[in-house]
Amino acid sequence: MSNSELVCLAVAQALLGFTSEARWLRFARTTLSPMFPYLPHVLEDPC
C-alpha cells in the first residue's frame, strides 16, 4: 500500500467520523475494497 493510499484512508476515516479502528477497517474492507485491495485484516503493532 502506498503512502498516498494510507493518507486517503486516514482522511476518509476522519471525515466519516470513525473513532474505532476495528469498525473503520470493517467498513473499509466491505465498502472500499475495490479501490484499496490491500487493506490490512488486523491492526499491526507499530513498535
Q: Could you tell me the pTM of the whole model?
A: 0.71
Residue at 44 is within a domain: no
Residue at 21 is within a domain: yes
Residue at 40 is within a domain: no
Identify the CA nearest to 28 among candidates 11, 44, 3.
11
Identify the CA nearest to 23 among candidates 43, 2, 44.
43
Q: Summarize the chain as % helix, strand, coil (round to 5).
A: 55, 0, 45
| Percent of the chain residues past pLDDT 70, beyond the cut | 87
What's the domain count of the chain? 1
Tell me the pLDDT tens digit for each residue of 1-22: 788 988 998 999 999 999 998 8
Residue at 2 is within a domain: yes
pLDDT at 45: 52
